[in-house]
Amino acid sequence: MDYLLTEEQKMIRELCRQIGEEKIKPVRSHYDDTQEFPWEIVKVFAESDLMGIFIPQAYGGLGYGILELSIAIEELSRYCGGITLALAGTALGTFPIFLFGNEEQKKEYLPLIARGQALAAFALTEANAGSDAAGIETTAVKDGDHYVLNGTKQWITNAGEAEIYTVIALTNRIRGPRGASAFVVKKGTSGFTFGKKENKMGIRASATRELIFQDCRVPKEDMLGREGLGFMVAMKTFDASRPGVAAQALGIAQGALDEALKYGRTRVQFGKPIASFQAVQHMLADMATQIEAARALIYATSRMYDDGGRDIGKESAMCKLFASDVAMRVTTDVVQLFGGYGYMKEYPVEKMMRDAKITQIYEGTNQIQRNVIALDLIKEAASKKD
């Protein structure tokens, strides 16, 4: 399908395809096996200016938008959804600064991220607060010119590897949704340490750890926005980042379909390539149709955002919901299409199936996305006159 991409957007896609083919494909199973952090590939992203793709040029980035970020994440995830998360997780950790930072904060942090000198991470989730983000218990208590953070964030992407963390903590327990605030916390700050690296089903090249705050003093200048805006920062961040999760899912699904098309033409049973069987052809057709529909939704939503339509909570949730369900269905079907070989680690498709699963879970599970979409629909309907 022709999405009327600009020459620059096509160049970004081509660049990412080349990085994927030449740099990521040869090493993806190594990082999947070892769970090492893929610094050699992060260096390639940085040298190609991809880390600052959506950061304004004034802060050292390329100055593109969510569509270009989505295209890059999609294309790279076609080769490895886990390695790509170093970039996508950094984007997630950068959005709060990009959207809510003041000039000093932007000048301090965005150029470091754009140049690839620092990765970023975003920390909301805790052991007792996943879908119910309002249940967070990490506190930030004002003490003179500082806030003192205490608590533990769980399952934070890029944790331990990133230099810059945007953290949501309670500044006023009794104010409910208005009681949280967002802070930038630098790695190395006294009282800020990491838990062990999690051993995961998929996206194993991505580092996931706890952030542990014990009397961690953060200068008051490192608060994003003002006191009480924490959940607003989180929600607006997710509006901007969910098309990226969707793009990760889309890339994984496309990568799996690419493999299915290769395999289907070469695997011979009953004297014929399996792609000549109508049942297999229908699987391929269904996969390709779902993938194209996901791509259309993601590109349209990203364009809406870049055109200034910042109220895209519903569309952003739709992208994430639809593309991640597509990724799970497609990768499961591709393993099926490979038969027993699909179950073996010699082929990349079992990894793709494992990698796809997380896209239905993080940045809000797909049940939560449905809640977001439905609430918005009902609100829209109620505001219309009959």
Ligand X SMILES: Cc1cc2nc3c(=O)[nH]c(=O)nc-3n(C[C@H](O)[C@H](O)[C@H](O)COP(=O)(O)OP(=O)(O)OC[C@H]3O[C@@H](n4cnc5c(N)ncnc54)[C@H](O)[C@@H]3O)c2cc1C
Residues labelled as active-site residues:
363
Among 358, 359, 369, 372, binds ligand X (CB under 6 A): 358
User: Rounded to the nearest 10 degrees, how much is the dihedral formed by the CA atoms of 27, 28, 30, 34?
Assistant: 140
Which CB atom, from 23 or from 236, has the smaller least distance to ligand X?
Answer: 236
Q: What angle do CA 72, 78, 83 make, to 5 degrees?
A: 75
As measured in angstroms, the least distance from the Cβ of 326 to ligand X is 18
Candidates 119-127, 252-260, 265-273, 334-342: pick the segment binding ligand X (CB under 6 A).
119-127
Candidates 75-83, 97-105, 150-158, 174-182: pick the segment binding ligand X (CB under 6 A).
150-158
User: What is d(CA 50, CA 209) in angstroms, rounded to the nearest whole number?
Assistant: 24
Among 42, 87, 148, 156, binds ligand X (CB under 6 A): 156
User: What is d(CA 218, CA 189) in angstroms, rounded to the nearest whole number?
Assistant: 8
Tokens of 200: 């995961």
Q: Return the residues of window 182-201 that contact ligand X according to CB under 6 A.
A: 200
Among 131, 214, 266, 269, binds ligand X (CB under 6 A): 131
Buried b (16+ CB within 10 A) or exposed e, 362-372: bbbbbebbeeb
Q: By CB under 6 A, is residue 240 in contact with ligand X?
A: no
Q: By CB under 6 A, is residue 32 in contact with ligand X?
A: no
Q: How far is CA 157 from CA 86, 191, 373, in A?
A: 8, 20, 25
331 exposed, middle or buried (CB, 10 Å; 0-12, 13-18, 19+)?
buried
As measured in angstroms, the least distance from the Cβ of 296 to ligand X is 26
Among 98, 122, 165, 305, binds ligand X (CB under 6 A): 122
User: What is d(CA 362, CA 369) in angstroms, rounded to the nearest whole number?
Assistant: 11
Distance of CA 325 to the CA centre of its chain: 15
As measured in angstroms, the least distance from the Cβ of 209 to ligand X is 10
Which residue number is nearest to ligand X in terms of Cβ? 130
As measured in angstroms, the least distance from the Cβ of 208 to ligand X is 5
Give the number of residues in contact with ligand X, rule: CB under 6 A.
Answer: 22
Dihedral sign, Cα of residue 209, residue 213, residue 219, residue 221? positive
Q: Return the residues of window 298-337 that contact ligand X according to CB under 6 A.
A: none
Candidates 60-68, 117-125, 171-179, 214-222: pick the segment binding ligand X (CB under 6 A).
117-125
In 3D, which of 94, 85, 28 has the Cα closest to residue 60? 94
Helix axes 313-338, 230-266, angle to 10 degrees: 30
Among 78, 362, 369, 372, binds ligand X (CB under 6 A): 362
Q: Phi-psi region for residue 248, left (φ > 0), alpha (ψ -120 to 50) or beta? A: alpha
Among 125, 166, 248, 324, binds ligand X (CB under 6 A): 125
Cβ contact 248:72 at 8 Å? no
Give me Rg for the CA atoms of the chain: 21
Candidates 125-133, 134-142, 257-265, 269-277: pick the segment binding ligand X (CB under 6 A).
125-133
Q: By CB under 6 A, is residue 363 in contact with ligand X?
A: yes
Among 124, 246, 253, 317, binds ligand X (CB under 6 A): 124
Q: How many residues comprise the chain? A: 386
Among 48, 166, 208, 359, binds ligand X (CB under 6 A): 208
Site string for ligand X, 67-106 (x = CB under 6 A): ----------------------x-----------------
Q: By CB under 6 A, is residue 165 in contact with ligand X?
A: no
Tell how strand 208-219 and strand 223-224 pair up: unpaired
CA atoms within 13 A on the CB side of 301: 31
Q: By CB under 6 A, is residue 157 in contact with ligand X?
A: yes
User: What is d(CA 113, CA 104) in angstroms, rounded to the nearest whole number?
Assistant: 15
Which CB atom, from 92 or from 274, has the smaller least distance to ligand X?
Answer: 92
Q: Which spans of this chain sit near ligand X (rule: CB under 6 A)?
A: 89, 121-125, 130-131, 155-157, 200, 208, 358, 361-365, 367-368, 371
